Structures are given as structure tokens and as C-alpha cells.
Chains A and B, each alone.
Chain A
Amino acid sequence: MKKSLLILLVSTMLLIFTVSAAAETTTLTFWTFQELHQQFLEKEVARWNENNPDNQINLEATVYPYDQMHNKLLIALQSGVGAPDMADIEISKFANYLKGSNPQLVPMNDVVEPNMDKMIEARFANYAKNGNYYGIPYHVGATVMYYNMEMMDAAGVDINKIVTWDDFVEAGKKVKDATGKPMTTVEVTEHWTLYPMISQIGSDIFAEDGSVILDNEKNERVLTFINDMVHKHEIAIPAPGGFHHSEEYWNFMNNEGAATLMMPLWYMGRFVQYMPDLKGKMAIRPLPVWDEGGNRSAGMGGTGTVVTIQSDQQQLAKEFLAEAKLSVEASHKLWTELGFDPVRWGVWDDPIMSEPNQYTEYFRNDDIFGMLLEIRDEINPTMVTEQYPKAIDLLKKNVSFKVIKQQSHTPAEALEEAAEELRQ
């Protein structure tokens, strides 16, 4: 035991010596809540070090559980000590970090703006305040529909003919009759069903001036529609476990529990990782529209990577992040490795984007990005205000749950209740 400890000690020391011997190596610390992000940035560091032999980076990345990472970062920034150089902040938490007169994050305009014309600006606006971009997104998060083609074929449904949500309901009835299984699942304890549909229909939680519009007629229409899918047409059920990231749900889908799923494109990775049994069966299409000519997608979710003002290597961190997340090469990798739709749409028609990889192998689509390019202009920006974290909290905990699961509120009542609370 002692001997092995000694060996461990010596080898660690050797390692430290060799690392410090290499000239110009800067250590950057990075916190994230997503292991995939950590692995991705580690590879990007290797690429950076190849290209910048005289300006080497040593990345010290730590993965924390989602909540803990955000809290820890909040406390570290609040008290001025202990924050890392860079950190991932999830979109529904981001507004917390911009609260108050003196944000503890570094504006990244100088590294972001030069290429803004090739990127989807709306995704940067989620992480901006007073014209300063504080976070670099990973993806667009275009919301799409995932169809189980075996079940569609069994029911004789042609998914290319599903144009409107009403068509979707009709197709759902056929699927239900043919297979006895629900057409789709809706989230009742998270917001990935209600919110994208609200955004898709052209509404939002907040208006551009920041006032609360959660209880407007469009949103009522959306929630009523979701509720009807479950209780009137009976083609949908609440997702097992309440949301589409629960273990129950993965279990359920591996057994072909439901025929379709509406989630953003980044959810592809979950299919590959957690639903191996559906490989080769799924196809991706844009969303059905609400009304003729309406939007076929919505940009949802996301994580902004930030540089904190406690970093003493702010410039290097910024440049590294821009290279690691926004450059052409990085954009390719975001797709091939993580299955993300990169915010730099300029690369979407690059040949590499349509080459086979683990995602194209899993899904039946030939050209996912061709499809994305078609709907690129059909993604509404979402309005993020200081109240955003609370609003998402209410969407998650109360709105869909009270209407669909508990059935204690009508859509109008639930929306109004949440809106009133936000207005206080």
C-alpha cells in the first residue's frame, strides 16, 4: 500500500514537473454540469495546443451536478472569490447571473461580433444584457419531431403529409387504432412541451418590453391543444416520470411506448445514448404548423459558456472559447461529436455535415442540415428577463401539471395564475 502510494506520489510530481517545464502553458479552470461539454472542450484544447505551440492551454475541467454547479458559481461570484475562469450556465439560470448593476461576467463582444453575420443572433441574445454578449451558446436547439417509422408504417401514416397540428392529431388517432399506443408524450413536470409550442406559435412568456404575456390567447390555445391531445383525443399521455429526461421515460421508449416525440435537435444525443433499441427506426421532421404558413420550429434550451471577471486570463479564455465553440472546425465537431446544431449556420451546408456519423446512422434522415436550413428563419427569438428563472420554474412545476396531470385548473386559469405571480 505504502509503496504504491509512493509511486503515485513520485509520478504525480514528475507529471507536475514536465507540465510546468513546457513553456507558456496557461491553466484555465472550467466548471460544467454536462460531462459531454467537458469532453468536448478537452478535445478542443488539444486542437488549440496544436495550433498555438507558443500559447499552450491546460484545461482543468470539473463536472458538478446541475444545481450544485449553478449555486456554487453564484456564491463564488457573489462573494468575489473562488470562481473558475470559465463556466457553463444553463439558459434558465442565466438571468440570475445578470441580476444587479454589476455583472460578474466578461462581455465577449470582441470575439463574437466579427462572425455574427454567419450565426443565429437570437441565440446570443439569450445571454446578453445592455448590448453585451456574456455567453457563447453551444447550439440552436431547433425543436423538431421525432417519429418512430415502424409504428408510422404500421398505422399507414405518411409523415410528410403531416403539415398542421390537426393533421398530427388525425395521424395520432390512426396510430392509436393500429398499435394501441399513444402517438406522443407531453411533459408535465418540465417545460419542453409547452414552451416550444408557445414560441412556435409566435408568442412568449414575456413581451419585448419585459411585460408578462404568459396568459394571452395564443398561449391559452397552445395549452388547450396539448390538454386536448391527452384528454379529448386521447392520443397523448403525460411522459412517464413527468418529463423526457427521466429514467422511466427512457425505459418506456426503449419498449416503443410512444410513436413520436417533440424535443429540440440536441435531444438526438439522448436517443443515441439512452434509447439504443430505437436505432434505425426514428426519423426527424420539422414541427407541424399551427396555421398555414406558420413556423415549423422553435429554438429551445441551451447553455452559455461564460468567462468570469475573477479570471486573470480573460482574453485568452475568450479567444479560446470563440475558437472552441464558434469556429468552422468547432462547428463541425459540435455536430459530429455532440449531435448539436451549431449556431454558426454558415457551416450547415458544408459537406461534412451530411457525412455519416453516429447520429445519421441512428436516424433515418439523409440530410438533417438540409432540413434545418429550410427552417432556419422560422425560429423566433425568446425573451429573457430577470424573472425568467422564476417563469421557467412556474412552467415546470405548475402550469402543465395542474392542467394535464391534476386536472384541477383549466388552461386559462393555470396560465393566469402563473402570469399573476410573475407580475407581482
Chain B
Amino acid sequence: MSKNKIQVTAIILVLSFFAFFALAPFFFMLISSFKPGDQIIKNGISASIDFDIMSFQNYKTLFTERSGIYLHWYKNSVLITTIQTAAAVFLSSWVGYGLAVYEFKGKNLIFILVLVLMMVPIEILILPLYKLSITLGILDSYAGVILPFIVPPVAVFFFRQFAVGLPTELIDAARIDGASEFAIFFKIMMPLMKPAFGAMIILQAMFSWNAFVWPLIVLRSNENFTLPIGLASLITPYGNSYDMLFSGAVISVVPIIILFMFKQNSFISGLTVGGVKG
């Protein structure tokens, strides 16, 4: 019994250490977001709590500065994230399923393509991609941000891995019952892939919410910015506007944390990884 107790305590200690490691930066940022910017420049980011200098002023500034541009950024981020996540998750499950359950010519080639594209760094494609966006007329628009990443190879890979592990007997049975190939997907396989959807929705939403390199290039006008671009525009080479930076960062993390809290369980069971059938 006492050996057991020691074990339990040890486990809790180890986990607490890592939880602390993970949460401490948030705490520092939260505290800093209540301090005036010049304090941070003088004394650095610290977790010291001093109610004399801490106030909600930064948050007020955040919502009023430049006629509330921050709210614009917020709205754009929410819309882009929603649309992109919905489209990307649906389309990549569609593709990933196709790759997993059928035998067809060119299958291996396409799968290799998926893997190759997974590792293409966007940085090397930016210039041509930008020129392409001009041709397609999607510069400075939601479509410009979303379209190039509407079938993310990583997500295709994930769904393919998941679908490989699904029971093929169900598909054969459904065929015998006369279901069409697409009905099988929608009616039988999609519900089976539900956990995978939970996982991918969170991962895609994270990706979309935090995307930086491409939106920065394709978005032009201030009011079309997403949150990361807007926040980054507060970092100047000669000192950062900490007043808005930390409060902006704090508020930008909140929705995704809430989403995570609510969806946590479906998310985690989702990664019950078929993900990862060999």
C-alpha cells in the first residue's frame, strides 16, 4: 500500500513538472499583459505581481486603438479558420479514404505525391504562388488564404492512415446490399471515421488560426489581416508595442483553448490512431 502511495506521488510529481513547464509561459504572458509596455522594456517579462502598475488599460487600448482594428483581425481569423477547417477536413477525408480503400492505377504515385507535398516548405513556393494568386484574382481575399491549403497533404495522409485500419468487410457487405460507392463513404465509413474528424478539426483549426507565412504575403490591406499578422505588425524592429502585443496574444489564444476544452474528448479518442496503422 505504501509502495503504491509513493508511486502515485512520484507520478503526480513528474506530471506536475511537465504541466508547469507547459503552463508557465502562459502565466508570464498573462501577468505581462496587465503591465504597461515601458515596464516590460525596463524590467523584462517577469511573473511578479504588482497591483500598483497592473491594470486593464492594455485591454482597453487593444479594443479601441485604430478604431478597433483588432476586432477586424479577430473576425477575419474566425471566418477563415472556420471555412478552411471545414473544407480541408471534409476534402482530405474524402481523398484519404479513396487512397486507403481502393486499388487503382497511379495509387502509389499519388500517395508518394502526398508525402512529397507534406514536406514542401511554403517558403520556396511563395513567389510563384503569389503570381498565381494574381492570375486567379484571389489576392487580398479569404479565398487567397484558403484555396492553396484546402486539401492539406498532412490531413490526407492522416485520413489515409486512419481509413486503412477500417474494417473492409463492412464495405463488401454494403456493396452486396447495393449501396453505391459514395453512399458507402457517407453512410458507413464517415461515421466510423468520426474520431478522426474530431482530431483533424482541432489540428486544422490550430494550423489555420496560427498560419503566418502565406497569409502575410497574400493579404494586403490592414482590415483583411488575420490575428497573427496583425499581432506581428505590432512587433517593430526597434522595440515592440508590448501594450497591445501581450493582451492581443492572450485574447487570441482564448477561443482555441475553449474549443479544445469542449472538444477534448472527441479529439483524443480521434487520435486513437488508426492514424497510424503501419
Contacts and interface: CB of A to CB of B under 8 A. Distances in A.
Indicate whether A and B are direct neighbours in the complex (CB within 8 Å). Answer: yes
B2 interface: no
A65 B229 CA distance: 9
Given A82-B139, A82-B220, A33 B236 contact: yes
B263 interface: no
A63 B236 contact: yes
Nearest to B45: A247
Given A82-B220, A245-B238, A75 B130 contact: yes
B189 to A, nearest CB: 39
Q: What secondary structure prevails in chain A residues at the interface with B? A: helix
Interface in B204-226: 216-217, 220-222
Interface in A77-119: 78-82
Contacts of A82: 130, 134, 139-140, 220
Given A251-B42, A276-B42, A35 B222 contact: no
Given A79-B130, A81-B139, A276-B38, A62 B233 contact: yes
A183 to B, nearest CB: 23
B241 interface: yes
A79 B134 contact: yes
A65 B233 contact: yes
Nearest to A74: B127
B123 to A, nearest CB: 10
Contacts of A71: 217
A199 B42 CA distance: 33
Interface residues of A, number: 29
B127 A75 contact: yes
Interface string B43-86: 11000000000000000000000001000000000000000000
Interface string A169-181: 0000000000000
A81 B138 CA distance: 12
A277 interface: yes
B121 interface: no
Contact of A270 (B38, B127, B140, B238): B238
B41 interface: yes
Contacts of A245: 237-239
- Chain B interface bracket (under 10, 10 to 19, 20 to 34, 35 or more): 20 to 34
B235 to A, nearest CB: 5
Contacts of A60: 222
Contact of A247 (B41, B139, B140, B236): B41
A8 B68 contact: yes
B232 interface: yes
B134 A72 contact: no
Contacts, number: 67
Contacts of B222: 60, 62
A247 B41 CA distance: 6
A33 B237 CA distance: 7
B126 interface: yes
B131 interface: yes
B127 A78 contact: yes
B1 to A, nearest CB: 52
A23 to B, nearest CB: 24
Which of B38, B216, B236 gathers the greatest number of chain A CB atoms within 10 Å?
B236
A60 B220 CA distance: 12
A290 interface: no
A270 B220 CA distance: 30
A34 B236 contact: yes
Given A72-B217, A75-B130, A65 B239 contact: no
Contacts of A66: 236-237
A250 interface: yes
Nearest to A84: B220
B217 A75 contact: yes
B148 to A, nearest CB: 15
Nearest to B241: A35
20 contacts: A34-B236, A34-B237, A62-B221, A62-B222, A65-B233, A65-B236, A65-B237, A71-B217, A72-B216, A75-B126, A78-B127, A79-B127, A79-B130, A79-B131, A79-B134, A80-B134, A245-B238, A250-B41, A250-B239, A270-B239
The 8 closest A-B pairs by CB, nearest first: A66-B237, A81-B134, A79-B131, A65-B235, A75-B130, A65-B232, A62-B222, A274-B41
Interface of B: 38, 41-44, 68, 126-127, 130-131, 134, 139-140, 216-217, 220-222, 232-233, 235-239, 241
Interface of A: 8, 33-35, 60, 62-66, 68, 71-72, 75, 78-82, 245, 247, 250-251, 254, 270, 273-274, 276-277
